[in-house]
Amino acid sequence: MMKKVLAAVLVTMMAATLLCACSPQKNARLARLKIGVTIYDESDTFLSEMVACFKEDAEMLADENTSVSVTVRGAEDSQRMQNDGVESFIDEGCNVLCVNLVDRTAPSAIIDMAKEHNIPVIFFNRELVAEDLMQWDRLYYVGARAKQSGKMQGELAADAIKKDSRIDRNNDGKIQYVLLSGEPGHQDAIIRTETVVSTLEEQGIRLERLSFQVANWNRAQAQNRMNQMIQQYRSDIELVLSNNDDMALGAIDAYDKSNVTETDRPCVFGIDGTAVGLEAVKEGKLAGTVYNDKEGQALSMARLALAAFSGKGMAQLDLEDGKYIYLPYYKVTAENVSQFPMTDGNADISLQTG
Ligand code: BGC
Ligand code: CA
């Protein structure tokens, strides 16, 4: 009897030892990808949607060998705060950084920290100059070509003007327009503004610029600017070209609050295809927009994060110059708007500040 008990105890002990020996090994095989994402401003509509998609995509890349976690910080439009946030990410053990720079001309502090700790950095949406990206071989960029979006917006506007003679309301053969610009210095603001105007001209549209206003990508600021322009130009404005959907919607808000009748309102064009932007195209409030492929950018960034971490699968990503991934834009009008995802990717990204 005693022998039996002893044997049973022994077997249990051996099993326990085996179990113990087993579990740490299993843990050791589990690679932990910890991604720190920082965006310039937590209230930016396009970026909130894009990062929500990214979180989902990155977490889906986890498998039995790799666990994935994503932490997002907003930088409240301060480069200093963003640099501190990146330092915290590194202290917390992040092994890939995704950085949407506040100041795209000031990436050095972040690059230096990343290099020192050998942590790859994927910059996105706010494009740094090529020389900065060349500083180290573990730096990448994911985004879209600003020029293409400006050209597409110009083509959409030119098509509308050619199709509908009522847009030239005063019949003077010229289109009186105002332009709402994103942040000065942002590649998308500079290049979209340049290209939309040159494209319209190339398409044979005669233009007269009434005003150029900076509204920093922001809906409320655009509403303010548009209000002032409505006071000044009343029904003279025939076309509003906006560097993004949020500002285009701000312009529409201003008209909705004004006493300008429907027939005296301009045609408005945006860029992004955010959930609210697409909705406005569907309702006919926005004449058109250009889809900034947040799903494509998010998925490419997630795949790149995993490849940069694991060292596997980089070749399949087809990087330009070993560094860049650019996703194409798409034209959106009332005719094809239903083909675009009208969700905001559950834009709740449970942000931390820093
Ligand atoms: C988007 C804007 C956004 C900006 C932020 C642009 O590509 O079109 O909506 O505010 O990026 O950097
Ligand atoms: Ca006119």
Ligand 1 atom nearest 217 alpha carbon: 10
Q: Which ligand is nearest to the CA of 183?
A: 1
Q: Is 183 in the pocket of ligand 1 (CB under 6 A)?
A: no
Whole-angstrom distance, CA of residue 244 vs CA of residue 172: 28
Q: Cα dist. 166→162, 197, 240, 265 in Å?
A: 10, 20, 15, 11
125-183 residue pLDDT tens: 999 999 999 999 999 999 999 999 999 999 999 999 999 999 999 999 999 999 999 99
- Starting from the CA of residue 146, give the closest ligand: 1
Q: Which residues surround ligand 2, an ion (CB under 5 A)?
A: 168, 170, 172, 174
Question: What distance, in Å, lies between the first and last C-alpha atoms of the chain?
Answer: 67
Ligand 1 binding pocket includes 126 (Cβ within 6 Å): yes
Atom of ligand 1 nearest to the CA of 272: 8
Whether residue 217 has its Cβ less than 6 Å from ligand 1: yes
Q: Is the pLDDT of residue 61 over 90?
A: yes
Q: Is 292 in the pocket of ligand 1 (CB under 6 A)?
A: yes
Residue bearing tokens 């600017």? 225
Which fold would CATH assign to domain 31-144+293-322? Rossmann fold (3.40.50)
The number of angstroms, rounded, from the C-alpha of 203 to the middle of its chain's C-alpha atoms is: 29
Q: Are strands 330-332 and 289-291 parallel, antiparallel or unpaired?
A: antiparallel
Q: Is 244 in the pocket of ligand 1 (CB under 6 A)?
A: yes
| Global model pTM greater than 0.85 | yes
Interatomic CA distance for residues 124 and 133, integer angstroms: 12
Q: Residue 173, by phi and psi: left (phi above 0), alpha (psi -120 to 50) or beta?
A: left
64: tokens are 């039995």
Q: Indicate whether 234 pLDDT > 60.
A: yes
Percent of the chain with pLDDT over 70: 89
Query: What number is the average pLDDT over the span 2-30?
Result: 52
CATH topology of domain 147-292: Rossmann fold (3.40.50)
Alpha carbon of 65 to ligand 1 centroid (Å): 35
Closest CA to 301 of 327, 322, 321, 320: 327
pLDDT reading at 2 higher than 80: no
Alpha helix stretches (DSSP H) within 45-78: 45-60
Closest residue CA from atom 3 of ligand 1: 46
- CATH 3.40.50.2300 region(s) of the chain? 31-144+293-322, 147-292
Specify the length of the chain in residues. 354
- Tokens coding 2: 């005693």
| 323-342 pLDDT tens trace | 999 999 999 999 999 999 98
CA 209 to chain centre: 29
